[in-house]
Amino acid sequence: MKYLEEMQENDIDGVVAVIESHDEDDADEAAAGFRSIGGCMDMYVLRHEGKIIGVTGFSTPPGCDQTHWLSWTYVHDDYTNQGFGRKMLIELIDHLKKQQGRMLFVKVSDYIDEDADNEEDGAIYAAALHLYQSLGFKIELTHPDYYDEGESQICLGLRLSDTPAMIADIDIAKEDVGVQFNSVFEIAETDGAYTFGWDDEGEQVFSQEDVTIGLDNVREQKGRIVFISFPSNYNGIKEPLLAAGFKESGKLHNYYEDGIHDQHYTYKL
């Protein structure tokens, strides 16, 4: 790589300072991740005059064909709007393309900091959204009230591979897979958004009653909203979810592989 360098353990403090220049909570969370085993893997730093001023990287979800998520991407607040973020992302995207990456996704919040001096400064993720879209990312889905009441999550996707553009809706044969829930938990970084953990090793698909039991559990824990998603080629998932009151809330196209999307469902309590 030309500008980015692989992040090493002794870069952690410098990287955390970059994130801290924007958000202390994010910095704490990122620090814990970097300090765990393999926490700096696939992360990169950008140095300017010897000092770390930027960080970016990616993660690779299991069970997908060359799909990646953009990880912590920050430029120190003293150095923003000078082209460093664009330079980092162009190089990272190029790197993923060279290693046969197929899709790159990223999540952004639409949080507005009400304490900021003006509306533009308050829209702290607006620059990120602008930058991603200018690099070719397309908005795939928006989840209202995701992080908190009034704060949405926006997911964007970029096709990395040169093979035909988004095959958005090719028909992939449905599969009979036994899907069962195994837990109910609050989603990290959210205030009151829950999901159900699941595995696909069962004999049959969960029933409407199973969904209702999960929802009652969330209600007991005072959850606000439930988000869940499944591969679009799994048979018999949609019916019990919709019967229990979930709504389809969009999909990440070609997430698992071309033609197999990540179909999202939402239930507002």
Ligand X SMILES: CC(C)(COP(=O)(O)OP(=O)(O)OC[C@H]1O[C@@H](n2cnc3c(N)ncnc32)[C@H](O)[C@@H]1OP(=O)(O)O)[C@@H](O)C(=O)NCCC(=O)NCCS
Q: Rg of the Cα trace of the chain?
A: 20
Q: Which two tokens stand for residue 216?
A: 């009652």
Contact 29, 189 (CB under 8 A): yes
User: Any bridge partners for residue 156, and if so which?
Assistant: 106, 139
| Position with the least CB separation from ligand X | 85
What mask, x for binding ligand X by CB under 6 A, covers residues 134 to 173? Answer: x---------------------------------------
In the list 27, 30, 96, 108, the residue contacting ligand X (rule: CB under 6 A) is 108
Contact 194, 211 (CB under 8 A): no
Count of residues binding ligand X (CB under 6 A)? 22
Q: Which two tokens stand for residue 250?
A: 């969009």
When asked if residue 128 is in the footprint of ligand X (CB under 6 A), the reply is: yes
Q: Which two tokens stand for residue 4?
A: 């980015």
Minimum Å gap between C-beta 95 and ligand X is 17
When asked if residue 127 is in the footprint of ligand X (CB under 6 A), the reply is: yes
The smaller minimum CB distance to ligand X, of residues 153 and 229, is found at 153
Part in contact with ligand X (CB under 6 A); list of ranges 41-49, 57-65, 73-81, 142-150: 73-81
Contact 231, 260 (CB under 8 A): yes
When asked if residue 111 is in the footprint of ligand X (CB under 6 A), the reply is: no
When asked if residue 58 is in the footprint of ligand X (CB under 6 A), the reply is: no
The smaller minimum CB distance to ligand X, of residues 128 and 158, is found at 128
Q: Which two tokens stand for residue 91?
A: 């190089």
Distance CA 13, CA 55 (A): 12
When asked if residue 51 is in the footprint of ligand X (CB under 6 A), the reply is: no
Distance CA 247, CA 207 (A): 16
Part in contact with ligand X (CB under 6 A); list of ranges 3-11, 76-84, 200-208, 246-254: 76-84
When asked if residue 35 is in the footprint of ligand X (CB under 6 A), the reply is: no
φ, ψ for residue 69, nearest 5 deg: -115, 140
Contact 208, 267 (CB under 8 A): no
Residue 83 has what DSSP assignment? S
Minimum Å gap between C-beta 224 and ligand X is 22
Residues forming contacts to ligand X in the complex (CB under 6 A) are 22, 73-75, 80-86, 106, 108, 120, 123, 125-128, 130-131, 134
